[in-house]
A = this chain, B = another copy of it.
């Protein structure tokens, strides 16, 4: 693989990775949006200081708020998965798969995470959410095993 965005394999990786990064950091923005909506869900004691963004502070603003906590749980799930996808996907394209296999694998992962987000945000049952998470996690495992099977013989 060329480390060059003109290489279709590397471009595929770059697109999937950028989308997943934007997805993960959007959770921070969504947390902020919901904190503004519910005027609470804060965590740091100093967030009760009177400021232009919080003109009428109240101790209840530090209590957990379910609308905010839901996004924090989704965000945490991203942190448990997406950083590993970003590296596993890079190593996977470095094994030189066909472009079709790379696209199905990487875009399939992206799709599984977007669907997981929708299911979690709309409070679908644990079974639906778990199924979507499992699809993404199996893609991750497949990529890692494929990288190991390609790299291990090199060092023997």
The contact of A49 among B49, B79, B86, B125, by CB within 8 Å, is B125
Bound CA span A25–B88, Å: 12
- Nearest CB in chain B to that of A57: its residue: B126
The contact of A88 among B21, B27, B96, by CB within 8 Å, is B21
Chain B CB within 8 A of A112 CB: no
Chain B CB within 8 A of A87 CB: yes
Chain B CB within 8 A of A59 CB: no
Q: Is the CB of A53 within 8 A of B126?
A: yes
Contact with B along A4-20 (1 / 0, CB 8 A): 11111011101101110
Tell me the number of copies of this protein. Answer: 3
Of A27, A79, A83, A126, the most chain B CB neighbours within 10 A belong to A126
Q: How far is the CB of A58 from chain B (nearest CB, A)?
A: 14
Q: Is the CB of A94 within 8 A of B46?
A: no
Q: Is the CB of B18 within 8 A of A44?
A: no
Contact with B along A86-104 (1 / 0, CB 8 A): 1110110011100000000
Task: Please list the residues of chain A having a beta carbon within 8 angstroms of any beta carbon in chain B.
Answer: 1-8, 10-12, 14-15, 17-19, 21-22, 24-25, 27-29, 32, 42-47, 49, 51-54, 66, 70, 73, 75, 79-84, 86-88, 90-91, 94-96, 120, 123-127, 129-130, 133, 137, 140-141, 144-145, 147-148, 150-152, 154-155
